[in-house]
Structures are given as structure tokens and as C-alpha cells.
Chain A
Amino acid sequence: MRVEIADLEVVRAGRTVLALERLVIGSGRVTVVLGPNGAGKTTLLRAVAGLERCRGSVTFDGRPVRPRLAVAFQRPVFLRGTVRANLALALELAGISPADREARIAEAAGVLGITALLERPASRLSAGEAQRANLARALALRAPVTLLDEPLAGIDGPARRELLGALPAAFRAGGGTVIAVTHDPAEAALLADDLVVLLDGRVHAAGPAAEILSAPPDAETVSFLGWDTIPGEGGVWAIAPGALRVGRGEVAFSLAVERATVVGGSPVVLGRIAGVPCLARLGEAPPPAPGETVSVSAPRSAVRWFPGSR
């Protein structure tokens, strides 16, 4: 189901917290809305769900009528009762017959790894377990549009890695459109088919994730995505994370060394380029001493120049 948002504006206490001219969410795809805290991501999700008082329109396959929606809020909430009862209620509200409910609950619980928790009272779940139950509820609904707010918040370690792989597949198998919201670029990169970068209530980028991540359209986006941004003459250099290496290369910079350490099993050098903290991989060379200046470089494809301020 295609979701089209037009002229959306949400104003709170005199402040415009969200303003979109036009945004199209592709049918059957996982679209991730990425942005820092306070950017308006949750507001956008709520507006699509019909929970926000706003100007503008949200249409579903061209129609303003909202279809059945599945939603997993940032804070998982449940009613009194077991996890199974909560999932069953959601399915009942959606009009799923009792016979089908059991099968769907079992399936979703399997994907999210909570089969053992189904008979537990929902109030007795840990944060991670509650979030997984929250997602299971949304998954079981197989709704035409699913809205997920920070789906992997509170889940870490092995469960996180597993879900990062399993979730998109599970939702895609349901055939519905998924709109997920996160502040973590790495998470977005792994989950998204399409990416929307939301900063300060405005869309800075929208399109296939791979494109945007490799070629961010502006300086703010680039900075949020974690690229190193080095001020230069009349503009800003942006270097993709992990692209800098000590030594000669296509685009060169000067790094004032602060210290050498190991990150992710590889030796790196921490320092500043034009006063901006940066990290460069060391490779085979001996580590430079603190206070030294070394030449670092990145391949041309990993460097972008944005003319204009900041």
C-alpha cells in the first residue's frame, strides 16, 4: 500500500515541529525515517497513524481512508493479561478469526524469539522482552501499513544482530508497507529499502537507502550520518566514516595526532584535522607519536565537497 503525504504541517505551542511538502512511501517496501532525537520522526509516524492534529493530507493508495494499521510505539504498552492475550486482542480488533489467531501468534513469536514468553503476564517482561513482544504484535497483524518507532531500542547483543537480519524479511513476507523510525544510521542502513532523512522537522533526503548513504545530498545530512566534516575554503569537506587512512591517497589531509589506539581489532590514530576530531586507520605502519602531524587520505569516492557555510 502506497502512502502519500502532502503539505503536512504539525504545529505545537506555536512552533512548527514538522513540515513536509511531499513524501511518497513505496508500497511493499521498508522505509526508514532517520534523524536525531527531536527531529520530528515520532510526530511523522503519529501523523500517518492519524494521532496528530495536523494540516495537510495522508492518503493510502490514493484514498484518505485509513486502512488497518499495525503500530509498535517506542514505549511498549500492554493491557493486563498474558503476552498471548495481548496479541490475541490486537488480532481480534483487526477482525482476524479465532482460528487464524493462534497460527499467527505462533509465527510472530517464533520470529521474535518470544515463544517461551507467551504465557507470561505482559507486565513481567524485561525491557528487551517487552520490545520484542511489541514487535511481535505488529508483525502478527500483517497490516497493509506497519509503523515502528525505534524498533530495536532496548534490544542489544546477539538478539539485536539476529533481528536486524530477520525483521525486514519477516515484514516483507507479510507484503505490507513498513515505515520504521530510528536515530541510528547503522540500524537504518541494515533495515531500509528506502531512506528518509529528517532533520529539524524537514526532509533533507528521500530515496533508496544505498544511494543516499553513499551520496548524502547536503552538509547537515552528512554530519548526522556520522561523516567527518572538515571546514575548508568556502565550504565543507565530508569524509565517509572509516575512509581515512594514514598515508598517501587520492584526497589528502593533515592530521594532528592525539593518540593511537585499537578500534574493532584494527589499529587507529585519533587526532584532529583543522580542529575537527577524526579517526584514521593505521595499517602496517608504526604508530606516530602524540603531537606529530601526519598525512592522511581517503579515496575520492568517499569524499564529498559541499560549498557554502558549515
Chain B
Amino acid sequence: MRLRTPAPLVAVLALALLSACGSGGSSRTIIVATTTSIQDSGLLDVLLPAFETQTGIRAKAIAVGSGAAIAMAARGDADAVFVHDPKAEAQAVAAGDLVDGVLVMTNDFLIVGPPDDPAQVRAARDAADAFRRIAVAGVPFVSRGDNSGTHAKELTLWTAVGVDPSTLSGRLESGQGMGATLTIASERRAYTLTDRATYTVLRATLALEPLFQGDAELVNPYHAYVVNPERHRGVRADLARAFVRFLVSPEAQRAIAAFGLERYGEPLFVPADPRAREEPGR
């Protein structure tokens, strides 16, 4: 019958476990609100370590939908934002939550669907027409439904053809990331709007074909911003600016240009001109 209380032992054990979890926030870290499609592409796994090596700043990339990322900025819960939703970005800039925006890279959206293309999207004139054909044919269509940049673009197109998406007979909402959405579309032989990067990464596992692309409407620009330190106390503006500058630095731009080339045979993103700084909301 052991007689001594283990209280000191237990306390030491707990503290040991706790500290073994690794250090939490240190002084040179920033929170970057970004999107799931950027994270899912794997680009950040290349860029963030390079950023840390170069500057000693650790960027914590929290991936949510574009809408949620901008909302985080509006609360002051992030230091920098890296998203692709021009309309929401413009609103945030106008509201004064985001400053110092730069165009980092672009790619485009594609409309993918079952190879036999029952809605005849292949023959569409433009992106809006493709969506009209989908609505008219009543075929299944999977939407992100998660306030992401992709979702925002999808809604813009439905509006352009005057269709209320909730009335579509074949509409499915995944509420999840692009990868899961593509898989659902593949399983259900449905159409969906996807960004090129995610589709390229998953193409081999999907039973979907690119059916429409190339319309100017389908350009997908990615911008980075600093959360306005004058509106939100506690924002690490200097470190965030370093991050945004890094994204358009020659080194990062070269990395973006090369990303995916080896593995998929084509780049997933097109880097922006490093010397140009465009305002969003063209």
C-alpha cells in the first residue's frame, strides 16, 4: 500500500507534457488569414518556410474561406490577409480594414463536369452562357457554399445570367473546401466551378473534364493585404508588411512561377508582375 501522495509528481508530469507541446506564440510571429484553396494547393508549404528563413518571422497561415478571412481582418484577429475575392476585398479596403494591397498572382477558374457533358457546356460562348446552359439543362451542380472566393465568383456568374441559384433543381452545396467539392462533383457526375490549382492537383483522381475556360470573367486574382493597424490595435503591421513585400519579391515570384511545374507538368499560378502594384476591384 503506497503511502505518499503523488501530487508533486503529477504536477511535474503535467507541466512536462504542456511544455513538450512546443512553444506557442513568440514575439516574431504573424497570423495570416488565407483561403483553403491556397492552402490546399500546397503553395504555402513552399513560401512560408522561405519567408521564415529569410526574415526570421513565423507566419501562421489560418485557412478559411475568403469571406471568413476578410471577416477576421475586420475584427483585427489577423495581421495579413492573402485571398482571392475582389469584390469583398474592395469593400474591406473601402471600410478601411485592409491597406497596402498587392496583386501576388493569378490563375483562372474552370468549369468542369462529366465527360459526356449533358448540358453541352463545351459549346458555350462565354462563362455566363455556360452557366445558363447548366441552369436550363437542370443537371447537378456542386457549389462551395462557404463564402470562399470561388463561391463568390460562382454567385457573380449566376447573377449575370439572372438565375437565383437556390432555385436550381440540381444544386448541391458542399460547404467544404475545393478538394472535397471536386470529389463530390466527381462522384455525383455533377458540374462545378473550380480554380485551376486545386483541379490540377486532384485531376488524376477525378472523373471530371475541363469543359469551359479562358473567359476574362474567369480570371482569379490573388491579393495580399496588411490589416490596418490604425483601426485595430495589436496588429503587427511591420511584420505583416514584410510578409506582403516578400510575396511580391523576386524570389517568391519565381517560386510561384515554378510551383507545380515538375509534379503536374503545368504551373498552378501565374505570378504578378513584381514591379506593378494594382488596386483590386477592376
- Residues of chain A touching chain B, judged by Cβ–Cβ distance below 8 Å, are 79-81, 85, 89, 92
When distances are taken between beta carbons in the complex, the residues of chain A under 8 Å from B216 are: none
Question: Within the assembled complex, what's the spacing in Å between the Cα atoms of A81 and B1?
Answer: 7
Question: Within the assembled complex, what's the spacing in Å between the Cα atoms of A85 and B2?
Answer: 11
Whether B7 is near chain A, meaning CB under 8 Å from some CB there, is no
Interface size on B, as a range, is under 10
Whether B3 is near chain A, meaning CB under 8 Å from some CB there, is yes
The 7 closest A-B pairs by CB, nearest first: A81-B1, A85-B1, A89-B1, A79-B1, A92-B3, A80-B1, A89-B3
Separation in Å of the A133 CB from the closest CB of chain B? 15
In the complex, chain B residues 1-28 whose Cβ is within 8 Å of any chain A Cβ: 1, 3
Separation in Å of the A291 CB from the closest CB of chain B? 67
When distances are taken between beta carbons in the complex, the residues of chain A under 8 Å from B3 are: 89, 92
A-B contact pairs, 7 of them (CB 8 A): A79-B1, A80-B1, A81-B1, A85-B1, A89-B1, A89-B3, A92-B3
In the complex, chain B residues 71-119 whose Cβ is within 8 Å of any chain A Cβ: none
Residue-wise interface mask of B (253-268) relative to A, using a CB-CB cutoff of 8 A (1 in contact, 0 not) = 0000000000000000
When distances are taken between beta carbons in the complex, the residues of chain B under 8 Å from A85 are: 1
Separation in Å of the A197 CB from the closest CB of chain B? 41
Question: Within the assembled complex, what's the spacing in Å between the Cα atoms of A85 and B3?
Answer: 11
Q: Kindly report which residue of chain A lies nearest to residue B3, judged by CB atoms.
A: A92
Question: Within the assembled complex, what's the spacing in Å between the Cα atoms of A65 and B253?
Answer: 82
Question: Within the assembled complex, what's the spacing in Å between the Cα atoms of A153 and B69?
Answer: 75
When distances are taken between beta carbons in the complex, the residues of chain B under 8 Å from A81 are: 1
When distances are taken between beta carbons in the complex, the residues of chain A under 8 Å from B1 are: 79-81, 85, 89
Question: Within the assembled complex, what's the spacing in Å between the Cα atoms of A79 and B1?
Answer: 9
Separation in Å of the B3 CB from the closest CB of chain A? 7
Question: Within the assembled complex, what's the spacing in Å between the Cα atoms of A79 and B3?
Answer: 12
Question: Within the assembled complex, what's the spacing in Å between the Cα atoms of A81 and B2?
Answer: 11
Separation in Å of the B249 CB from the closest CB of chain A? 68
When distances are taken between beta carbons in the complex, the residues of chain B under 8 Å from A89 are: 1, 3
Question: Within the assembled complex, what's the spacing in Å between the Cα atoms of A80 and B3?
Answer: 13
Separation in Å of the A62 CB from the closest CB of chain B? 34
Separation in Å of the B208 CB from the closest CB of chain A? 65
Question: Within the assembled complex, what's the spacing in Å between the Cα atoms of A92 and B1?
Answer: 12
Q: Kindly report which residue of chain B lies nearest to residue A85, judged by CB atoms.
A: B1
Question: Within the assembled complex, what's the spacing in Å between the Cα atoms of A80 and B2?
Answer: 11
Question: Within the assembled complex, what's the spacing in Å between the Cα atoms of A81 and B3?
Answer: 12
Question: Within the assembled complex, what's the spacing in Å between the Cα atoms of A116 and B3?
Answer: 25
Question: Within the assembled complex, what's the spacing in Å between the Cα atoms of A92 and B3?
Answer: 10
Separation in Å of the B5 CB from the closest CB of chain A? 13
Separation in Å of the B4 CB from the closest CB of chain A? 11
When distances are taken between beta carbons in the complex, the residues of chain B under 8 Å from A80 are: 1
Separation in Å of the A182 CB from the closest CB of chain B? 32
Q: Kindly report which residue of chain B lies nearest to residue A88, judged by CB atoms.
A: B1
Separation in Å of the A105 CB from the closest CB of chain B? 14
Separation in Å of the A83 CB from the closest CB of chain B? 12
Separation in Å of the B1 CB from the closest CB of chain A? 5
Q: Kindly report which residue of chain B lies nearest to residue A89, judged by CB atoms.
A: B1
Separation in Å of the A156 CB from the closest CB of chain B? 32
Question: Within the assembled complex, what's the spacing in Å between the Cα atoms of A89 and B3?
Answer: 9
Separation in Å of the A201 CB from the closest CB of chain B? 39
Question: Within the assembled complex, what's the spacing in Å between the Cα atoms of A162 and B3?
Answer: 36
